[in-house]
Chains A and B, each alone.
Chain A
Amino acid sequence: MAEFQHARGPGNEPADRLTRQQFLRRAGMGLGAVALSAAGSARGNGVLDHPHVTPKIKRVIYLFNSGGPSQIELFDHKPELNRLHGTELPDSVRRGQRLTTMTGSQSSLPLAGSVFKFKPHGESGNRVSELLPHTSEIADEICIIRSMHTEAINHGPAVTYLQTGSQFPGRPSMGAWLDYGLGTENSDLPAFVVLVTRGKGGQPLLSRLWGSGFLPSKYQGVRFRSGKDPVLYLTNPDGLDAGARRLMLDRLRELHRADGRSGDSLLEARIAQYELAFRMQKSIPEATDFGQEPAHVFEEYGKDSKNPGTYAANCLLARRLAERGVRFIQLYHPGWDQHGNLPGAIRNQCRETDQATAALVKDLKRRGLLEDTLVIWGGEFGRTSYCQGKLTPTNYGRDHHPRCFSMWLAGGGIRGGTTYGRTDPFSYNIDENPVHIHDLQATILQLMGVDHERLSFKYQGRWFRLTDIQGKVIQKILA
């Protein structure tokens, strides 16, 4: 009955098996002060004293392209669909599986071939669509997984599922789990940073996607905003400069130390908290200021990269945060939900993202960061091989498809220049090497040195883990 076994392992342990770290926490020395101030030590400020396995990477950059990018247009070439264009999806392929109620009532489900061409690229010959000329240039770096699958059929549950391991709200995001388990690598930036493309329409994103769920809220992702305050109320009020703030904080510290008050752990934590806030007032604007980046960098990421809040600017910012030791950098770029007018809309999406995505991987590689960084590209599900709405030779739409979709991984520990998994000629079912989203989560944790079955948290009487009660590391994609 292995499938019934929920998580159990080092997490918030029973009292007599506390780790040293937890003991410190319980003694009041922990909380944000410890999590964020243990400079220099790469490990040991999360709940895990040691990695379970040898870590291959130090950080993750997750390029979440949300809305459900069409695998058929991007990475999963299906010439058969062009031949069968306009004919009905055979029942033998559909096998009675549920559809969304958006196309569930449609009278006909005609197959739609992609209007885009595919070609092998690089030495590996990884097949990539003409929509992604820049990604094609990093074909030898990436491992394309064509056999991703999920059970969720709508955006909210599906994104939540990928990020938290559950379709329903309330569980911690992947970045929160890693922050909880491994702590932070840097002294004055958060361990888990979230960057959302500004002003994109499409299916809404929710702050709970990077939330800490039942973990303490300090593990939640910190969203960097693209405006004047990258972090909520980081900036001093108008009229107050850093010097005046420093004076005020000095007096506050004096007050905290006056009359023999000291030694109280909560008080010490508070003093540390204010000092760290002051350091962040410097370190965060420094990290988000592109002033020192040379012109060729902007050229490489594309002209959008000068425009804060764009996907390209966020890719560049992701590299800067990676350099500064942020452990989990989560980007979101919505807009891939092409129920209709797919060919035109996906062209725009690719134009907004392709160049910067590839630039990020190349840039990381050049700086020697790629070997200990994992870059993930992908959405929450795929799209149907049959058309939603009107089908013409050059125009069509596709509905949500959870049964197969494509993602790619690049960086430390990954066998670049490979393709894993195979779908049927309709890109409808998986023929070979299925990868469930829990398997992907298990693999990401493994690369970070964490056994997904052993990073857990007891909440409301049950042990929880990111991969719920499933998940197998995808050994074959690992170098």
Chain B
Amino acid sequence: MRLILTICLVLLPPAITRAADGPVDFVRDVRPILSDNCFKCHGPDENARKADLRLDTEKSARAALGNGKPETSKLVQRILSGDPDEQMPPPASKLSLTPGEIAILQRWVREGGRFAAHWSFQSVGDVKPPMVRQAGWVRNPIDRFVLASLEQQQLKPNREASRQRLIRRVSFDLTGLPPTLKEIDAFLADKSEQAFERVVDRLLAKPGYGERMAADWLDIARYSDSYGYQVDRERYVWPWRDWVVRSFNANMPYDRFLSWQLAGDLLPNPTDEMRLATTFNRLHSQKVEGGSTLEEFRVEYVADRNHTFAMAFLGLTLECARCHEHKFDPITHKEYYQLFAFFNNIDESGVYSYFTPAIPTPTMLLTSDGQKAAIARVESKIAESEAAWRKVGGEREAAFREWLKKRPFPAVVPNPLPGRVLHMDFEKFNSGANRSIAGRFGKGVRLTGDDGIGTKVGNFRRSQPFSVSLWINTPDEKQRAILFHRSRAWTDAGSRGYQLMIEDGRLSGSLIHFWPGNALRVLTRRKVPVAGWHHVVMSWDGSNRAAGLKIYLDGRPAACTVVRDNLYKNITGGGGDTITIGQRMRDRGFTNGGVDEFQVFDRRLVDLEVAQLFDGHSLGEALATPVKQLAATQVAGLREYYLETFDKPYIAARQAARTQRDQRGKLVDGLKEIMVMTDLDSVRKRQTYVLRRGAYDAPTDPVEPDTPAVFLPFPKDAPRNRAGLARWLTSPVHPLTSRVAVNRLWQQCFGGGLVRTPEDFGSQGQPPTHPKLFDWLARDFVTHGWDIKRALRQVVLSATYRQDSTADRELVRRDPDNLLLARGPGYQLPAEMIRDNALWASGLLVDKQSGPPARPYDLAVSFKPIKIDQGEGLYRRSLYTFWKRTGPAPVMMTLDASKRDVCVVKRERTSSPLQACVLLNGPQFVEAARVFGQVLLKKHGDNLDALVTEMFRRLTSRRPSDREREILGRAFAEQLAYFTADPKRAEAFLKTGKAPVDKTLPAVRIAAAGMLANTLMNFDECLMKR
């Protein structure tokens, strides 16, 4: 035993085997072992629990621990047992404890077997910076914590990095770009105590700061310019990205930054910016493939929001609890769905539209102030003109009475009724599989349900009144059947257009831009009688309100429920421009249903006209009845008929309103929209259920929105919606929110967080390397108003951060991952910075903020090749590079950028020869190198030494040594000789990229200088943060 432990100590970095000295720490040393090996059967999940033994709480585990004597502890005896029936973990589990782990458990039991709650679920401690011996090193409180632990380990902090290194490091960390030579010189010349502070303050004020911060946030938000999954169309979400950049630059407090993204729509008086922030929740992948099960994917979207919320803001992985109780952390299956409920209440579909570019609902119109004002103007004009129209209607009683008296006699009922644009009587009908049958009048048609009957009419705008009349005969109570529609398809077109269907036996009429969130629908209360002919009319008044859509059954208006009343864009477009009867793509047809006398009118029919169509006499009878014998209902019907048909002032007022409604369409239909969060109202609220094993089609118990109990209670007076959730999340006493935030800020500066598993603050994650510092930072962050710039400033001004990254071998061997912080950070720059740096050095960078995504060279060779930009789109900062999920920018991917499929809070850092290929030969880099060479050649002429020095400085922020100058001079000479031997080589070389070649300079020299830049752009110090 002793021998084995010794070997461990020799082999392993001592920083990791702290348990060997000092008492065992339950959270750091013991719980991970129990969690990994025991909790599956002896943990929080009741269903999986074996032998009724629970080892995750002190009380339940006590009996198995023995009283400080490993010999009497059942736990220890069982793990030491060689008997396969006794041995724990059981051999069948394929788990086993190492001797080191066993030793820790034994020591723990010997020391009393004390438990402690998981560190990250306890409130943030109120800690004071410790006293240290080497107080002179300390620059701010951070350093006291770090130094105290170093002193405990008998280590010394590293020397401070050179000024060149420091300004390069901090410029990349805060703005993603290197310092200019001027900035370096100014810093070198500034001998004051505040020199570095001045640098930091200047950097934090740069617009590049927001871009650098946004780059990480886009990973967290799984931001992409395309929808994902298979078809992966482009989508319009970049205004949200610009909002992120603006918010960071404005130093929006972190609690507000989160609250807006989570619930901007639900906070008091939401502005457009606040609603735009909620796009965060809609950035998950979305599906369009035909044949998909809608609910399956809708549930997947909600789950993604839920997981993103937990990982981005709480540093927790919830996925386990989607299917069963969490095995490791105290989050139950039910709690998963309680949290899910917050995100499950928007009016969305499981697929976006294949045939139209409709934005998946809910959406927000993106309008300028001018457009907003114009919309407000037209809305008020519509209201005015509608009021005027109603008023005229009320004032025309005398004219109506006059007409009533003087109506022509005998009565004339126009046949057909005016405005009829289509009549199909099916008397001479011959259409494939559909059968001619005895109809309501003469012959009718029986539909197969798979073969639609096309027409040549029906492409109405939403401001255009219209009516459709038909006789139907349904053989059975249809769960779903399309009677007629004007649309290209059902889900594949978001149902764009209008339609009349049978749903669960009822008539359902809709006008739709994108179902369900941008549409209106009414549903009859009564069911359509089965068997026998019945007359159905759908009429629309052009008003844009559900109340304007009427359904008539057998001549009478049917009482309807409003299912949706939120149409705010056009119902035209997407194809399928004319009415089809009885069938629709991938929808259920009117199988074996009868249809007869199909008529379409380009106006709204009034009640009497509909009755006339049904019974053939109502209107005629009313017109023929003498005034005194008219029933009250007949008078009302005739009034409506008169006004709509004959009364000139009324018709003029109607036309005026219609003109304004048309105007609204013109104004709004072309406006940009973006996906946001908007909750369904209390009537339509979606009930959330626990899903058995996470399956979308296995709902069990209903649940209401709530937060997991282990952290802190949901605020009593907060609403049970995302706004309440935001309040809970940003409570100053929340144990996770501030810790997760400061950990990421630390990671941004040091390459790794104080918690090295930023994706998992739960019991399977790693505990913080400096628990007290961590708590101090988290508390300090909250106390100072969640001020991000202040927190970053404090970190980079610390002596800890300013340490040199080069360390002696002994330290590297002892602490390869720099867990002790006895040196500064050193690692390869993130993908964006590597590319931006090359563009910046060469002067090609187009440092323009915001706007549509850019398409640089490498997109042309992505897995889904994309047409690249001409001009400035080739040279924007990488933050703006067009991000397609199924074909992400290959250069970025090779350099370890995140794929942005799901929320990612830490990037992997790898090193592969594919990276070398990109940096050596990628056109973006070769072009940058040759342009850089050209710029410096122009500037320095034959002064090679000056050229080499400036090139070196711009790419590494320091001056080259004599030896380096000598090597580079030789490199230039060699390449010059190579190109001079055959000048065509130079010409070919200079053709890479679209930037112009300076014809006044010798091509061979530009090429040689370009290769010199190519060499330096692959130099360690150019690519590494040191």
A214-240 interface bits toward B, Cβ cutoff 8 Å, 1 = contact, 0 = none:
001110001101000101111111111
CB atoms of A277 and B816 under 8 A apart: no
Tell me the bound Cα distance from A328 to B1024 in angstroms: 32
CB of B94 within 8 A of chain A?
A: yes
B331 to chain A, nearest CB (A): 11
Question: What 6 A-B pairs are tightest by C-beta distance, nearest first?
Answer: A239-B989, A239-B988, A32-B912, A277-B916, A461-B764, A100-B291
A46 to chain B, nearest CB (A): 15
- Give every chain B residue within 8 A of A451 (Cβ-Cβ): 94
Q: Which residues of A pack against B, CB within 8 Å?
A: 1, 4-6, 8-9, 14-18, 23, 26-28, 31-33, 35-36, 98, 100-102, 105-108, 153-156, 168-170, 203-204, 206-208, 211, 216-218, 222-223, 225, 229, 231-241, 243-245, 247-248, 251-252, 254-256, 258-259, 261, 263-267, 269-270, 273-274, 276-277, 280, 400, 451, 453-454, 458-462
A160 to chain B, nearest CB (A): 9
**Given contact pairs A101-B291, A106-B450, A259-B964, A239 touches B985 in the complex (Cβ within 8 A):** yes
- Give every chain A residue within 8 A of B12 (Cβ-Cβ): 15-16, 18, 23
Tell me the bound Cα distance from A266 to B8 in angstroms: 25
CB-contact partner of B975 in A23, A156, A247, under 8 A: A247
CB atoms of B812 and A251 under 8 A apart: no
CB atoms of B586 and A102 under 8 A apart: yes
CB atoms of A206 and B230 under 8 A apart: yes
CB-contact partner of A15 in B16, B763, B806, B922, under 8 A: B16
CB of B921 within 8 A of chain A?
A: yes
- Give every chain B residue within 8 A of A263 (Cβ-Cβ): 809
Interface segment, one of B56-64, B191-199, B242-250, B1015-1023: B1015-1023
- Give every chain B residue within 8 A of A235 (Cβ-Cβ): 921
**Given contact pairs A15-B16, A169-B902, A277 touches B917 in the complex (Cβ within 8 A):** yes
Q: Which residues of B pack against A, CB within 8 Å?
A: 8, 11-13, 16-17, 32-33, 36, 40, 45, 47-48, 93-95, 98, 100-101, 228-232, 285, 289-294, 300, 311, 317, 319-320, 324, 327-329, 448-450, 491, 586-589, 591-592, 757, 759-760, 762-765, 806, 809, 812-813, 816-817, 826-828, 861, 863-864, 886-888, 890, 893-894, 896, 899, 901-902, 908, 910-918, 920-923, 926, 961, 963-964, 967-968, 970-971, 974-975, 978-979, 984-992, 1007, 1011, 1014-1015, 1018-1020, 1023-1024
B499 to chain A, nearest CB (A): 15
**Given contact pairs A233-B921, A239-B988, A240-B1011, A26 touches B588 in the complex (Cβ within 8 A):** no
- Give every chain A residue within 8 A of B828 (Cβ-Cβ): 266
CB atoms of B230 and A255 under 8 A apart: no
- Give every chain B residue within 8 A of A239 (Cβ-Cβ): 979, 984-991, 1007
CB atoms of B324 and A462 under 8 A apart: no
- Give every chain B residue within 8 A of A234 (Cβ-Cβ): 917, 921
Chain B residue nearest to A211 (CB atoms) is B899
CB-contact partner of A256 in B922, B961, B975, B1019, under 8 A: B1019
CB-contact partner of B911 in A5, A9, A168, A270, under 8 A: A270
**Given contact pairs A252-B1019, A454-B94, A101 touches B290 in the complex (Cβ within 8 A):** yes
B481 to chain A, nearest CB (A): 10
CB atoms of B816 and A217 under 8 A apart: no
B319 to chain A, nearest CB (A): 7
B507 to chain A, nearest CB (A): 19
Chain A residue nearest to B450 (CB atoms) is A107
CB atoms of A98 and B916 under 8 A apart: no
CB-contact partner of B912 in A156, A218, A245, under 8 A: A218
What are 6 contact pairs spanning A and B, CB under 8 A? A4-B324, A27-B816, A169-B228, A217-B893, A232-B917, A256-B1019
CB atoms of A460 and B913 under 8 A apart: no
CB-contact partner of A1 in B48, B985, B986, B990, under 8 A: B48
- Give every chain B residue within 8 A of A15 (Cβ-Cβ): 12, 16
CB atoms of B971 and A208 under 8 A apart: no
CB atoms of A8 and B94 under 8 A apart: yes
Tell me the bound Cα distance from A216 to B911 in angstroms: 10
Tell me the bound Cα distance from A123 to B276 in angstroms: 69
- Give every chain A residue within 8 A of B317 (Cβ-Cβ): 460-462
A196 to chain B, nearest CB (A): 9
Tell me the bound Cα distance from A243 to B12 in angstroms: 44
CB atoms of B94 and A232 under 8 A apart: no
**Given contact pairs A203-B230, A238-B991, A244-B1011, A218 touches B922 in the complex (Cβ within 8 A):** no
- Give every chain B residue within 8 A of A217 (Cβ-Cβ): 893, 896, 908, 910, 912
- Give every chain A residue within 8 A of B229 (Cβ-Cβ): 156, 169
CB atoms of A207 and B911 under 8 A apart: no
CB atoms of B311 and A460 under 8 A apart: yes
CB atoms of A240 and B989 under 8 A apart: yes
CB atoms of B812 and A265 under 8 A apart: yes
Tell me the bound Cα distance from A261 to B908 in angstroms: 26
CB atoms of B1020 and A270 under 8 A apart: yes
CB atoms of A31 and B816 under 8 A apart: no
CB-contact partner of A16 in B8, B757, B917, under 8 A: B8
CB atoms of B921 and A16 under 8 A apart: no
CB atoms of B95 and A8 under 8 A apart: yes
Tell me the bound Cα distance from A457 to B119 in angstroms: 24
Chain B residue nearest to A25 (CB atoms) is B816
Tell me the bound Cα distance from A156 to B918 in angstroms: 30
CB atoms of B918 and A206 under 8 A apart: no
Chain A residue nearest to B964 (CB atoms) is A258
Tell me the bound Cα distance from A118 to B959 in angstroms: 77
- Give every chain B residue within 8 A of A460 (Cβ-Cβ): 311, 317, 319, 759-760
CB atoms of B448 and A154 under 8 A apart: no
CB atoms of B902 and A102 under 8 A apart: no
CB atoms of A255 and B292 under 8 A apart: no
**Given contact pairs A105-B587, A244-B975, A155 touches B816 in the complex (Cβ within 8 A):** no
CB atoms of A233 and B94 under 8 A apart: no
- Give every chain B residue within 8 A of A254 (Cβ-Cβ): 967
CB atoms of A170 and B813 under 8 A apart: no
- Give every chain A residue within 8 A of B48 (Cβ-Cβ): 1, 4
- Give every chain B residue within 8 A of A225 (Cβ-Cβ): 861
Tell me the bound Cα distance from A385 to B253 in angstroms: 61
Instruction: Give 17 A-B pairs besides A9-B94, A100-B291, A461-B764 with Cβ atoms closer than 8 angstroms.
Output: A16-B12, A16-B17, A16-B101, A35-B912, A101-B291, A101-B294, A105-B588, A154-B292, A211-B899, A231-B917, A247-B974, A247-B978, A266-B826, A267-B1020, A453-B94, A458-B764, A461-B759
CB-contact partner of B978 in A23, A101, A243, A266, under 8 A: A243
- Give every chain A residue within 8 A of B964 (Cβ-Cβ): 255, 258-259
CB atoms of A32 and B918 under 8 A apart: no
CB atoms of A26 and B13 under 8 A apart: yes
- Give every chain B residue within 8 A of A240 (Cβ-Cβ): 985, 989, 1011
Tell me the bound Cα distance from A288 to B990 in angstroms: 28
CB atoms of A237 and B319 under 8 A apart: no
A383 to chain B, nearest CB (A): 13
B890 to chain A, nearest CB (A): 5
CB atoms of B1015 and A248 under 8 A apart: yes
CB-contact partner of B992 in A237, A274, A276, A454, under 8 A: A237
Tell me the bound Cα distance from A332 to B901 in angstroms: 22
Tell me the bound Cα distance from A258 to B1020 in angstroms: 12
A181 to chain B, nearest CB (A): 15
CB atoms of A232 and B890 under 8 A apart: yes
CB atoms of B913 and A280 under 8 A apart: yes
- Give every chain B residue within 8 A of A264 (Cβ-Cβ): 806
CB atoms of B899 and A208 under 8 A apart: yes
CB-contact partner of A36 in B98, B864, B912, under 8 A: B912
CB-contact partner of A154 in B291, B587, B922, under 8 A: B291
CB atoms of B987 and A251 under 8 A apart: no
CB-contact partner of B886 in A107, A204, A218, under 8 A: A204
CB atoms of A31 and B94 under 8 A apart: no
Chain B residue nearest to A238 (CB atoms) is B988
- Give every chain A residue within 8 A of B979 (Cβ-Cβ): 239
CB atoms of A233 and B918 under 8 A apart: yes
Tell me the bound Cα distance from A223 to B812 in angstroms: 36
CB atoms of A14 and B985 under 8 A apart: no
**Residue in A28, A273, A459 whose Cβ sees the most chain B Cβ within 10 Å:** A273
